[in-house]
Structure 1
Amino acid sequence: MIRHLNRLYWIGYISVMFGLYWLLHHWFGARSDNAAVAAICLVVGVLFSAHVGFNISGFALSYSVRQIPQVRDKGLHFHSTEGEGFHRLSLARWVKAVLVESIASLKLITLLQPWAPNPDGIQLAGKTWRKKKPLPVLLVHGYLCNSAVWAGTRALLDRAEVSTHAITLEPAIGSIRSYSEAIHEAIDELLVATGAPQVKIIAHSMGGVAVRYHATEYGHHRIAGMITIGSPHYGTALSTLGIGKNVKQMAWGSFFLKTLREHPTDREFQQKIWSLWSPQDNIVCPPVSSKLEFGKNTAVPGCGHVALLNDSTTEDLILNWLAEDAQAYPLAENRA
């Protein structure tokens, strides 16, 4: 659904470009080549400006929303930033954060999600003969995204000789509960394809919440660990701006997240989770909502919600995490 929706956007982009070209060429007398270049530059400029404006609003809300009584009064003790050395950025770093986030989100929506070739499926590591191999990784995307969001991460893991499986959760605006079976089947497929005893999971945004719910239905014995990146584990105040059942389930202090937190299996599973979060997250509001009560939490400052995925610190932490429990296991074709 998201892939087709993002492709439909291109009809609008191209239509506006042709309209501007016609105006510039026929009304203003611009040469055809100059009119074409100007039309393209105007559309790209407007798109980028729209992303910058949206992200500035998101960063501002993220910074201020923690002061809203409805949010502040529902805060949990482990959401305190005391002792974290809460990261206050200089003006230059705020500007950089906005620009990097705007480029990342524009690239995701206009290029990766609609046009990335074959983003779903299993990608096996090249050196499958190594005695010690990192466990394979299941990649689970977030709200209104698809598996193309993992293009940079898959390239990183491919260079590190890590097998991966990326899935697209459907329906895009359905209940988070409905994704549990797809995650279960994806784990099955990855274990069969690699012969590994367990998988590791990297999840972005809503994906982290979806895997936590999956664990309450199917258990977590086949999951060695999970990294969540900017996941709204306790909700986001910006959920009111979205559509669909899943975004309502991610509302700050929602009944769904409250019952998930109270599930005994979730408490066990959290001990396997490492949450990477940004104090400047422009979607998870307040950003401390990404911190887990019983899991490990690490702040990656100066990143927006999408840019956090491919930040150099995030990538280094992921590679070190995967190397921790590299082990020998028989390849699928050699198993009895």
Structure 2
Amino acid sequence: MNGRLQRIWVVLRLLAALAVGWYFGWAWGVLTLGLHAAVLALGFVQLRWVNRPPPAWGQLLRAWAREVVASELAFAWRQPWREWAEPDHLPANAPHGVLLVHGFSCNRGRWNGWMKRLREQGVAFIAPSMEPAFGSIDAYTDEIEAGVRRLQALTGRMPVLCAHSMGGLALRAWWRKYGAGHETPHVITLGSPHQGTRMAALGLGVNTQQMRLGNAWLGALPGLPNADCFWTPCDQIVNPAERAILPGARAHRLDGVGHMGLVHSPEAWKVLQEALRAPSLQTALAGSSFNTPRRI
């Protein structure tokens, strides 16, 4: 559904720019296309008053410039038109697996860059487009479980779970429902509102309500035993910035990067590569002289 909505939005933007250009001159038409960047700038400016300590103006400017490119790439190209350009990759005898979970108002096309690189490495991956687009986050757990089970059957080990934005909450909801049947996964979240975000008050849909500050649904979610959380003080979507840090997780701060840009960060990709090289918990326990009880 998000792909269809974004295709409509792209067409409307182009039609509006053509209409303005026809009546007022083509320079004005080009500026009309740039309104997105102007609105995006307001989201970064407000971080000077929301986050403490406030990010420097230079960091915000750098993050805004990168975010204009990242958001246009996502919402004007990959998600509306290239959702299935990189199909799920399930090669026989794959040694590793990765499940990629997108965030709010996105689809699997969000991960096209990562999927291409994982395919080149021979790593199995599944990236679902989660539906309903504006329904409860709990509704995504069954599809996540199906992906985990399929990758487990293929590789013989627990996949690494990677999530952007709201996807991190979907993984926690999945862990609450299905965690007792699995070994502990290595989870990587990028800009996930683990403690909510003030920006969710502006959104529509059940899932945005579940991301609001102080709501009961979010407060009842469990943590994740083995997680890396990437966050940025220049996050125009998840703020205050520290709300993207899950208590007990390994926190990674990135400066000069916006919310959508986190998926393009080489630091996050490096952590994923390290996770893929690490032995699974099951393998590590099998090679030890004793077993340690696991808590869920």
Q: Is the 8 A contact 1:136 1:196 kept in 2?
A: no
Matched, 1:156 2:117: yes
1:286 matched to which residue of 2?
Answer: 240
User: What is the deviation of 1:138?
Assistant: 0.3
Deviations 1:24-58 (A, max 9, x none): 7xxx8xxxxxxxxx4xx7555433x3232232222
User: What is the deviation of 1:311?
Assistant: 1.6
Q: Is the 8 A contact 1:120 1:168 kept in 2?
A: no
The alignment partner of 2:255 has SS state of coil
Q: Is the 8 A contact 1:13 1:43 kept in 2?
A: no
Matched, 1:124 2:90: yes
Structure 2 distance, partners of 1:145, 1:123, is 20
Matched, 1:323 2:277: yes
The alignment partner of 1:198 has SS state of coil
2:160 matched to which residue of 1?
Answer: 200
Q: 1:53 aligns with which of 34, 38, 58?
A: 38
The alignment partner of 1:123 has SS state of coil
Counterpart of 2:38 in structure 1: which amino acid?
G
Structure 1 distance, partners of 2:123, 2:167, is 20
1:11 matched to which residue of 2?
Answer: 11
Alignment of 1:25-104 (within 5 A): 38=26, 43-47=29-33, 49-66=34-51, 88-89=55-56, 91-104=57-70
Q: 1:213 aligns with which of 163, 173, 184?
A: 173
Deviations 1:216-238 (A, max 9, x none): 11116155211000000000001
User: What is the deviation of 1:156?
Assistant: 2.6
The percentage of aligned residue pairs carrying the same residue is: 28
1:250 matched to which residue of 2?
Answer: 211
1:276 matched to which residue of 2?
Answer: 230
User: What is the deviation of 1:64?
Assistant: 1.9
Deviations 1:46-99 (A, max 9, x none): 33x3232232222233342247xxxxxxxxxxxxxxxxxx7844x443322111
1:313 matched to which residue of 2?
Answer: 267
Q: Is the 8 A contact 1:104 1:307 kept in 2?
A: yes
Structure 1 distance, partners of 2:14, 2:43, is 28
Counterpart of 1:305 in structure 2: which amino acid?
H
1:33 matched to which residue of 2?
Answer: none
Structure 2 distance, partners of 1:16, 1:87, is 36
User: What is the deviation of 1:22?
Assistant: 4.6
TM, length-normalised to structure 1: 0.76
Q: Is the 8 A contact 1:209 1:231 kept in 2?
A: yes
Structure 2 distance, partners of 1:15, 1:52, is 18
Q: Closer, same or farther in 2 for the Cα pair 1:44/1:169, shift >3 Å?
A: farther
Structure 2 distance, partners of 1:185, 1:88, is 40
Counterpart of 2:261 in structure 1: which amino acid?
A
Structure 2 distance, partners of 1:22, 1:297, is 50
Structure 2 distance, partners of 1:197, 1:313, is 24
TM, length-normalised to structure 2: 0.85
Structure 2 distance, partners of 1:241, 1:62, is 16
Structure 2 distance, partners of 1:310, 1:281, is 14
Equivalenced residues, count: 282
Q: Is the 8 A contact 2:51 2:240 kept in 1?
A: yes
Counterpart of 2:5 in structure 1: which amino acid?
L
1:234 matched to which residue of 2?
Answer: 195
- Larger-Rg structure: 1
Q: Alignment RMSD, CA only?
A: 2.6
Q: Closer, same or farther in 2 for the Cα pair 1:17/1:301, shift >3 Å?
A: closer
The alignment partner of 1:275 has SS state of strand
User: What is the deviation of 1:318?
Assistant: 2.2
Structure 1 distance, partners of 2:29, 2:275, is 41
User: What is the deviation of 1:277?
Assistant: 1.0
Structure 1 portions without partners, runs of 5+: 29-37, 68-85, 261-265, 330-336
The alignment partner of 2:73 has SS state of helix
Structure 2 distance, partners of 1:62, 1:138, is 32
User: What is the deviation of 1:299?
Assistant: 0.9
